[in-house]
Amino acid sequence: MTLVLPFDNSYAQLPPRFYTRQNAVPVREPRLIAWNAPLAAELGIEGGSDRETLARIFAGNEAPEGATPLAQVYAGHQFGGFSPQLGDGRALLLGEVVDSHGRRRDIQLKGSGPTPYSRMGDGRAWLGPVLREYVVSEAMHALGIPTTRALAAVETGERIYRDPGAMPGAVLTRVASSHIRVGTFQYFAARRDAEGLRALYDYTVARHCPQVESPAHLLAEVIRRQARLVAQWLSIGFIHGVMNTDNTSISGETIDYGPCAFMDTYHPQTVYSSIDAHGRYAYDNQAHVIVWNIAQFATALVPLMPDQDAAIEEFTALVHAMPERIEAEWRRVFAAKIGIAEAGEEDAALAGDLLARMAEGRADFTNTFRALIEGGARDQFLDPAAFDAWEARWRARLAREADPEAVMRAANPAFIPRNHRVEQMIEAAVGGDFAPFERLMGVLSHPYDDQPGAADLRRPPAASEVVHATFCGT
């Protein structure tokens, strides 16, 4: 049976300097390891029942009818240093489909072979990062956080060489609202390519926010989306790990799951990424870094404006107002975590005080908040009396709330993809056992439900299981 993807490709119509057209490099022995049938249905993909066809297509061995594979070019600040040219070094946009809700979605292969933008890389990915992105991005979606999705994962039957040694190669198929990044704007701005910048701006507005009427308006819209996104990350203890400007999406989705991780024990300066030596992208810094990234976006938009001095003034005011917006979003999500539907100033202080005690008491982030519903939160603290003092004030505040339990149930997941479980799942998969992957996917697809049979997946790691560092997908 042939697979039908209803492609309707618009990025490929942009000027040729936006990308390089090329096909994926075929792999030796593609084998399908995961297929997201509900997502495929949403995308209008038909005929996805033959695993061999799926394996061939989503390994890149066969281009599906209507695809116009291309590697997108972009630039970006990586750990604060500017690279004027990056681009898809191991990814190819197959094309776009318009989904059942009328939304245009990119379908992209990741790990599909070298491109002109590969620099020193081999263009490939190994099974570990592919499964990590599959599990974590789908978990983020189930948690209610804007994110790219995972449609398929295929093993290549080839070995690739990484730090751990010769590892099984894999290709991930990623679905995104688009792959336009802050770095895409930076690419054209850095080259003083005014026409390219204008074409990108027009394309972005038409695709993501047709109501937008000016670059300032687009900036304000991206600020709104990113402020909300980062507050949502903070609310579930998520650490992205590589918040470079090329990994900051204009659509407001979480993109690029490299060394990302969820915190177990709460501490605001938690870092997992092995390449983030100075903690630039630590948990708490994410709210500052996003403002820095948005300032780079604003800078890239300036050449679009006829009066640049006026533009700089206007954009600066917008960027300077962003921290306040993040704070408002933070207050909203953290108030909900402690059962408060409409947050006031003093509620932010109440939530902040709990976090300070959690850091001091080495409390587990996810389990402490969930235990506010279920009871037993005090047992999460080294010194339970620290919680008791807070609890008395909290209970007094909750007396003014209509249904705090319902608010907390929607804000405090029972399940997150804990690092040690993700690592154990990868280790099993490398050994050929995909049962832990399937189980994680099943449980994480409804993370706010009690699932008594999966209590083991709620436990923090034992001392021997703690993951101290996560590695980039490269």
Residues at the contact surface with ligand AMP, assessed by CB under 6 A: 86-90, 117-118, 121-124, 242, 246-247, 256, 258, 472-474
> Please, which residue, 256 or 264, has the CB nearer to ligand AMP?
256
> Please, which residue, 26 or 89, has the CB nearer to ligand AMP?
89
* Residue 234, CA distances (Å) to 79, 230, 331, 407 in order: 20, 6, 11, 17
Determine if 99 is a binding residue for Mg ion (CB under 5 A): no
Q: State in angstroms the smallest separation of the CB of 260 from ligand AMP.
A: 11
For Mg ion (CB under 5 A), the number of binding residues is 2
Give the range of 136-144, 232-240, 245-253, 417-425 binding Mg ion by CB under 5 A: 245-253
Query: Could you say which of ligand AMP, Mg ion, none residue 110 binds, taking C-beta under 5 to 8 angstroms by partner kind?
Result: none
The CA distance from 241 to 251, in Å, is 19
With b meaning 16 or more CB within 10 Å and e meaning fewer, what string describes 276-315? beeebbbbebbbebbbbbbbbbbbbbbbbbeeeeebeebb
Give the range of 43-51, 90-98, 219-227, 249-257 binding Mg ion by CB under 5 A: 249-257
Residue 246 annotated among the catalytic residues of the structure: yes
Please tell me the total number of residues recorded for the chain in this structure.
Answer: 474
42, 138, 155, 256: residue in contact with Mg ion (rule CB under 5 A): 256
Q: State in angstroms the smallest separation of the CB of 126 from ligand AMP.
A: 9
Give the range of 138-146, 255-263, 348-356, 372-380 binding Mg ion by CB under 5 A: 255-263
Q: State in angstroms the smallest separation of the CB of 159 from ligand AMP.
A: 14
> Pick the catalytic residue: 88, 106, 246, 256?
246
Q: Ramachandran region of residue 279, left (φ > 0), alpha (ψ -120 to 50) or beta?
A: left
Place of tokens 């990108």: 200
Query: Could you say which of Mg ion, ligand AMP, none residue 121 binds, taking C-beta under 5 to 8 angstroms by partner kind?
Result: ligand AMP
Tell me if 95 sits within 8 A of 67, measured CB to CB. Answer: yes
Q: State in angstroms the smallest separation of the CB of 211 from ligand AMP.
A: 30
> Please, which residue, 117 or 266, has the CB nearer to ligand AMP?
117
Token couple for 362:
């080495």
Task: Please give the span between the terminal C-alpha atoms of the chain, in angstroms, as a whole number.
Answer: 35
> Please, which residue, 89 or 157, has the CB nearer to ligand AMP?
89
The CA distance from 110 to 93, in Å, is 9
Tell me if 258 sits within 8 A of 269, measured CB to CB. Answer: no
Close Cβ partners of 307 (under 8 Å, ≥ 6 residues apart): none
Q: State in angstroms the smallest separation of the CB of 293 from ligand AMP.
A: 13
Summarize as ranges the residues that interact with Mg ion (CB under 5 A): 247, 256
| Residues acting as catalytic residues | 246
